[in-house]
Amino acid sequence: MTVDTISPSQRALLLLASVKTQKGKDLHPIFKSLRSHTEISSEFEQLKFHAAASLQLQLSQQDDEFSAKDFVPDTRLVASPYNSVPHLLDLDTLDTQSRLLALSLSFFTPVRSDYATGDYLESFNWPEVFQLLKALAAAGGHAWKKQSFYVVSFRSQLQLGVDNDHLHALDAYSHQEAVSSGGLLKYWFGTKNKNRRNLATCIWRNRDDARLGGRGPWHAKARAAARTMYESIVFSTMELVIGDYVDTWDIREWRDAHL
């Protein structure tokens, strides 16, 4: 594997393996002090498909992506394809395990081009995300305890001739509502394919957060507009269960019996 072919998640795992062996090293910046979002790309392509948000993590003091003199610490993570202040996730609002998962999800990317119609689990780099979560927890001295999270996916097919500006506004303002409500750890959406199909997904701290996040006026507008903007929408809910020490993980259909 060469420097040119190594992925952001693989690079992060190598750096974490290195810092874990340095006794007495202060790892606090990894979890609470991020590079400013202004130093990160705002291009959808980079944020959706190249894990650009992961560059916010300060994994090494010798990181050659940014010089120390330019480093401005922050606690706000780019946790969606939107890189602007109203869309940022403030890590200070989260418990330790939710914070660690959110940081790991900054490396979340699709691994196949047919994600809009392909199997959900096989469409993303989930194994790498949980490898990173395990490494981050270990590096920070945190003994991960089994916890479940709430996952939502939206598979859609747009109508012909949709107003893309209006579609973007509905999505962007709905996301701002969800971020303001709290507990949204990751939002990702792809690019529509030649048949106008796409996939979007959210990872929430829990189901109650998701319910509260979807109650705002922009979510109501988006639901009302869906009848005229989409040929079809398939909404699925899932449970992400991460076992003790991140030794196991599973994403399965949500069942109300979990409540």
25-253 — its CATH code?
Answer: 3.30.70.100
Which residues have CB under 8 Å from 69's CB, separation 6+?
none
What's the CA gap between 120 and 19, in Å, rounded?
33
What's the CA gap between 182 and 176, in Å, rounded?
10
Q: Domain residues of the chain, as ranges?
A: 25-253
pLDDT at position 11, please? 72
Neighbours of 135 (CB within 10 A): 21
Give 174-208 pLDDT, tens digit per residue.
Answer: 999 999 999 999 999 999 999 999 999 999 999 99
Look up residue 170 and give its two tokens.
Answer: 């509905």
Give 119-129 pLDDT, tens digit per residue.
Answer: 999 999 999 99
What's the CA gap between 105 and 80, in Å, rounded?
10
Give 8-47 pLDDT, tens digit per residue.
Answer: 777 776 666 665 544 444 444 555 579 999 999 999 999 9
What's the CA gap between 135 and 42, in Å, rounded?
27
* pTM exceeds 0.95: no
Which residues have CB under 8 Å from 90's CB, separation 6+?
75, 76, 77
**Measured between alpha carbons, how far is residue 15 from residues 3, 139, 213 in Å?**
13, 11, 35
**Encoded amino acid at 221, one letter:** K
What's the CA gap between 2 and 7, in Å, rounded?
10
pLDDT at position 71, please? 53
Is pLDDT above 90 for 140? no
pLDDT at position 14, please? 66
Look up residue 116 and give its two tokens.
Answer: 């809009």
pLDDT at position 112, please? 97
What's the CA gap between 163 and 85, in Å, rounded?
25
Give 54-103 pLDDT, tens digit per residue.
Answer: 999 977 654 444 445 555 678 999 999 999 999 999 999 999 999 999 99
Give 198-256 pLDDT, tens digit per residue.
Answer: 999 999 999 999 999 999 999 999 999 999 999 999 999 999 999 999 999 999 999 87
